[in-house]
Amino acid sequence: MPEGLQGIVADWSSDQRAFKNVPWGKAMMWIFLLSDTFIFSCFLISYMTVRMSTTDPWPNPSEVFGLTLWGRSVPLLLIAIMTFVLISSSGTMAMAVKFGYEKNRKMTFILLLCTAALGATFVGMQAFEWTKLIFEEGIRPWGNPLGAAQFGAAFFMITGFHGTHVSIGVIFLLITATKVIRGDLDHERPGFMTGRKGKYEIVEIMGLYWHFVDLVWVFIFAVFYLW
Amino acid sequence: MAAHVEGQQHPIGIYLKIWGLLFVLSTASYLVDYFHLQGYLRWFLILAFMLLKAGLIVAVFMHMLWERLAMMYAILVPTLLLMVLLGIGALEADYTFFTRGVFFLKGLL
């Protein structure tokens, strides 16, 4: 197959399929993720716009999200731990994909469960963070005692949407893990509501979604928590 | 034609290395906040670490590095459009900030 720019022209003008060596399920997941990128970007760019245009001081995230440990306040500690938890879940997911293609059922299953457990931990810590902000700091979507009223709206919208993505991911990880350990993929058993044969590529497709969730968190961590 | 070679097979070491690298980069961006760096240095470091982490995740964990250019361009080029939205957002925010400033100043006089 031709490479480089010639390859692009050849692939796009060829019969049957433009994305060579890519199962259609994976191509569709990529296109879904592209659309999701635009949704999250709309949130983050709106956040930038309200933060730049407000005349009230923006609450300092470093202090708002700090934790007090042994009488000493550590800035952003919970958020840092959440970041490491999510990155670790991405690491276990990447390895699950590898063992999946090697048809190593047990390792794939264990690594998928680890990924789901880390994802659930992340959501749990986020629930703790929201509880603290709502009940102790009095932060609401329409205002807060610390400064600019837009802080709450941006925070709840962005982290809420991301947390929903993580929660949905955990559910699908558990479904995928069940399919793997039951041997559905080895025996090419069709899945729920589809006639398509089960294959190990579904683990990679699941992985794409999961890495995307981690990717979005990288951007949220940088522009919302650290800025 | 290798049309039926589907799926990505790479040695496990590369995933572990990238995992480690992501930990290092995350720690570095946390330290930016911990040591209270301010101004352009802070913004530059935050964005640099963010883009490096994003690049590693997309390239290695999501296997974009090993896809054909047709796939890479179809997914990565459209995201550049967001720069337009970013620019419009920034222009609009500056203008809103300016009009708010004028409005509140008049209230004081």
| Measured distance CA(B21)–CA(B56) in Å, rounded | 9
Model confidence, pTM: 0.93
Burial letters for B71-91: b for 16+ Cβ neighbours within 10 Å, e otherwise?
bbebbeeeeeebeeeeeebee
Residue A68 is predicted with a pLDDT of 79
Residue A4 is predicted with a pLDDT of 86
Residue A69 is predicted with a pLDDT of 81
| Measured distance CA(A138)–CA(B48) in Å, rounded | 34
Per-residue pLDDT of A115-133, as tens digits, reads 999 999 999 999 999 999 9
Q: Are B49 and A222 in contact (CB under 8 A)?
A: yes
CATH code for residues A4-226: 1.20.120.80
Interchain CB contact of B98 with A (< 8 Å): no
Residue B6 is predicted with a pLDDT of 53
Residue A198 is predicted with a pLDDT of 86
Q: Is A86 exposed, middle or buried (0-12, 13-18, 19+ CB in 10 A)?
A: buried
Residue A205 is predicted with a pLDDT of 95
Residue B2 is predicted with a pLDDT of 41
Interchain CB contact of B26 with A (< 8 Å): yes
Given B3, B9, B46, which is nearest A222 (Cβ)? B46
Residue of B nearest to A88 (CA): B19
Give residue limits of the domains in chain A.
4-226
Residues linked to residue A140 through DSSP beta bridges, in sequence order: A143
Per-residue pLDDT of A96-107, as tens digits, reads 999 999 999 999
Residue A20 is predicted with a pLDDT of 85
Asked if B73's CB is within 8 angstroms of A208's CB, the reply is no
Per-residue pLDDT of B7-25, as tens digits, reads 688 899 999 999 999 999 9
Q: How is residue A74 annotated by DSSP?
A: E
Residue A48 is predicted with a pLDDT of 96
Helix (H, G, I), strand (E, B) or coil at A69: strand
Residue A30 is predicted with a pLDDT of 96
Asked if A218's CB is within 8 angstroms of B54's CB, the reply is yes
Dihedral sign from CA coordinates of A55, A61, A67, A68: negative
CA atoms within 13 A on the CB side of B31: 8
Q: Are A154 and A46 in contact (CB under 8 A)?
A: yes
Q: State the CB neighbour count (10 A cutoff) for residue B38.
A: 9
Per-residue pLDDT of A12-62, as tens digits, reads 998 778 898 888 899 999 999 999 999 999 999 999 999 999 999 999 988
Given A11, A211, A219, which is nearest B70 (Cβ)? A11
Please report, as a single letter, which amino acid is at residue B55. Answer: G
Given B50, B73, B82, which is nearest A41 (Cβ)? B82
Asked if A200's CB is within 8 angstroms of B7's CB, the reply is yes
End-to-end CA distance of chain A: 45
Dihedral sign from CA coordinates of A199, A202, A203, A208: positive
Give the mean pLDDT of A189-206. 87
Give the mean pLDDT of A148-158. 95
Residues of A in Cβ contact (< 8 Å) with B47: 222
* Banded pLDDT at A72 (limits 50, 70, 90): confident
Asked if B71's CB is within 8 angstroms of A19's CB, the reply is yes
Residue of B nearest to A51 (CA): B93
Residue A74 is predicted with a pLDDT of 83
Dihedral sign from CA coordinates of B64, B66, B72, B76: positive
Give the number of A-B residue pairs with CB atoms closer than 8 Å.
Answer: 171
| Measured distance CA(A52)–CA(B60) in Å, rounded | 35
Interchain CB contact of B96 with A (< 8 Å): yes
Query: Which has the minimum average pLDDT: A61-75, A78-92, A102-116, A125-139?
Result: A61-75
| Measured distance CA(A44)–CA(A50) in Å, rounded | 10
Cα of A111 to nearest chain B Cα, Å: 13
Please report, as a single letter, which amino acid is at residue A186. Answer: D
Given A30, A53, A88, which is nearest B100 (Cβ)? A53
End-to-end CA distance of chain B: 78
Q: How is residue A67 annotated by DSSP?
A: E
Low-confidence ranges of chain B (pLDDT < 50): 1-5
Asked if A91's CB is within 8 angstroms of B15's CB, the reply is yes
Cα of A34 to nearest chain B Cα, Å: 6
